């Protein structure tokens, strides 16, 4: 008993020492803020995007959406128990995928366009082949012990999932088995995003931390703190050197991976609603953040200023996405509609 206590005390002392060391190292390189550096950059002015399409079809709250790599098709998930695949150029629904469990929280489009994945309170990530005559279940990835909050395909044979069981997981779709389990969060994982080079991914969780993971080794490379509540949304800056998070604490933050710290925050005293989703424009200059206040607010990522708003939904904006060609923004809401803006 005494030996155990001695070890615990030594470990705790080392933890405290290492944490102080990390904070000191971060402070040592903190020689100026992003907003100071961005003083010389031209302002973007007021960003006024118009509503181009209002996509009606779902009968209940929309929880998630994801663009196809072709920047034309898009998949949305609603607790009406359906996934809908849309042709956003015409507004037509191409395919409806009925779900075994209506309690869906996440949806993803494979880069090939052949597969979509969804999951939620059933704890299962179900992968569908949507190129078949009618959508066919390809795999049911069943090993998480908590809800499925997010998933992203690396290819038609690998997918990464984030779960309320506090872990993320890399799956082999040929075998349906877990390849790597990413363990380190101490709260429900809410969101994940793949790095542009696909060697790593980031996760945001209810422990208010964002973590960067090496996909192949399974190790957590970096941890970012600062938020004071659940992180609901996370995205990579297009260069891959920074990440953006959105939180229930009503703010978004940009963390630079090489400086290993927050470089700018996006908050406004008039905004008292949690952030549900984030997406960036192609240059990384504009951040589209969906909030519980029914709006999607637009931020200048370099100056930290609010530069616009997408208003029109009658309920919480639950998901936001910009397609690969950067031609527009899609917002999905609990009001059951998806809107396309540019």
Partner 1 sequence: MSSKTHNANSILLARRTVLQLRTEASRERMKVSKASADLMNYCTEHAMADPLLVGFPTSDNPFKDKKPCTIL
Among positions 29, 59, 181, 324, the unique one binding partner 1 when judged by CB under 8 A: 29
Residue of 237, 266, 291, 334 interacting with partner 1 (CB under 8 A)? 237
The CA distances from residue 293 to 47, 250, 302, 311, 313, in Å, are 19, 10, 24, 10, 9
Residues between 301 and 320 that touch partner 1 (CB under 8 A): 301-302
Minimum Å distance from CB 261 to partner 1? 7
Q: In what order do the strands lie in the sheet with 177-183?
A: 148-155, 158-163, 167-172, 177-183
Total of residues contacting partner 1 (CB under 8 A)? 66
Least distance in angstroms from the C-beta of 120 to partner 1: 29
Q: Is 92 in the site for partner 1 (CB under 8 A)?
A: no
Q: Kindly state the smallest distance separating residue 40's Cβ from partner 1, in Å.
A: 9
Of 110-118, 137-145, 166-174, 239-247, which segment contacts partner 1 by CB under 8 A?
A: 239-247
Q: With contact defined as beta carbons under 8 Å apart, do 298 and 278 qualify?
A: no
d(CA 261, CA 284): 18
Rounded to an integer, what distance in angstroms lies between the CA atom of residue 90 and that of residue 67? 15
Site mask, partner 1, residues 147-186, x = CB under 8 A?
Answer: -------------------------------------x--
Q: Return the half-sphere exposure (C-beta side, CA atoms, 13 A cut-off) of residue 74.
A: 28
Using CB under 8 A as the binding rule, whether residue 216 contacts partner 1 is answered as no
287 binds partner 1 (CB under 8 A): no
Report, in Å, the least distance between residue 193 CB and partner 1: 17
Position among 101, 114, 223, 225 found at the interface with partner 1 (CB under 8 A): 223
Alpha helix positions (H), 153-280: none
> From the CB of residue 196, how many other CB atoms can be counted at a distance below 10 Å?
13
Q: Residue 24: how many CB atoms within 10 A of its CB?
A: 9
Smallest distance, Å, CB 6 to partner 1?
Answer: 11
Applying CB under 8 A, does 285 fall inside the site for partner 1? yes
Q: By the 8 A CB rule, do 190 and 205 touch?
A: yes
Contact between 329 and partner 1 (CB under 8 A)?
A: yes
202-234 as b/e: b if 16+ CB within 10 A: bbbbbbbbbbbbebeebebebebebbeebbbbb
Select the residue interacting with partner 1 from 2, 133, 258, 270 (CB under 8 A). 258
Q: Residues of 1-18 as b/e, b for ≥16 C-beta within 10 angstroms?
A: eeeeeeeeeeeeeeeeee
Of 71, 78, 51, the residue nearest 319 (C-alpha): 78
Of the listed pieces 14-22, 77-85, 114-122, 311-319, which binds partner 1 according to CB under 8 A? 14-22
Nearest to 85 by CA among 253, 77, 12, 94: 94
Least CB distance from residue 218 to partner 1, whole Å?
12
Which residues of the shown chain bind partner 1 in the complex (CB under 8 A)?
4, 7-8, 11-12, 14-15, 18-19, 21-22, 25-26, 28-34, 37-38, 41, 44, 47, 49, 52-53, 71-72, 88-89, 184, 219-223, 237-239, 241-242, 254, 256, 258-261, 263, 281-286, 301-302, 322, 325-329, 340, 342
């Amino acid at each position: 008993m005494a030996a155990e206590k001695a070890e615990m005390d030594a470990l705790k002392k080392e933890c405290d020492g290492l944490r102080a060391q990390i904070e000191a190292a971060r402070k040592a390189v903190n020689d100026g803020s992003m907003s100071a550096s961005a003083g010389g950059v031209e302002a973007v002015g007021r960003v006024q995007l118009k509503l181009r399409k209002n996509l009606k079809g779902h009968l209940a709250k929309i929880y998630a959406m994801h663009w196809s790599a072709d920047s034309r098709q898009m998949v949305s998930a609603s607790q009406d128990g359906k996934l809908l695949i849309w042709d956003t150029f015409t507004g037509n629904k191409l395919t409806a995928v009925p779900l075994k469990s209506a309690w869906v929280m996440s949806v993803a489009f494979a880069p090939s366009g052949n597969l979509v994945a969804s999951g939620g309170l059933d704890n299962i990530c179900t992968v569908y082949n949507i190129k078949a005559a009618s959508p066919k279940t390809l795999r049911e990835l069943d090993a998480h012990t908590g809800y499925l909050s997010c998933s992203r395909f690396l290819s038609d044979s690998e997918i990464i999932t984030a779960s309320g069981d506090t872990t993320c997981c890399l799956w082999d779709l040929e075998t349906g088995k877990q390849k790597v389990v990413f363990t380190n969060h101490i709260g429900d994982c809410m969101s994940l995003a793949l790095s542009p080079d696909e060697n790593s991914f980031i996760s945001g969780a209810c422990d208010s931390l964002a973590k960067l993971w090496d996909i192949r080794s399974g190790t957590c490379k970096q941890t970012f703190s600062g938020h004071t509540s659940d992180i609901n949304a996370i995205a990579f800056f297009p260069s891959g050197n920074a990440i953006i998070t959105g939180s229930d604490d009503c703010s978004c933050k940009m963390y630079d991976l090489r400086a290993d710290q927050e470089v700018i925050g996006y908050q406004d005293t008039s905004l008292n609603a949690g952030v549900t989703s984030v997406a960036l424009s192609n240059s990384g200059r504009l951040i589209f953040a969906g909030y519980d206040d029914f709006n999607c607010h637009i931020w200048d990522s370099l100056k930290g200023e609010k530069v616009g708003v997408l208003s029109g939904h009658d309920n919480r904006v639950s998901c936001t996405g910009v397609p690969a060609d950067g031609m527009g923004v899609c917002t999905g809401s609990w009001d059951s509609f998806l809107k396309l803006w540019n």
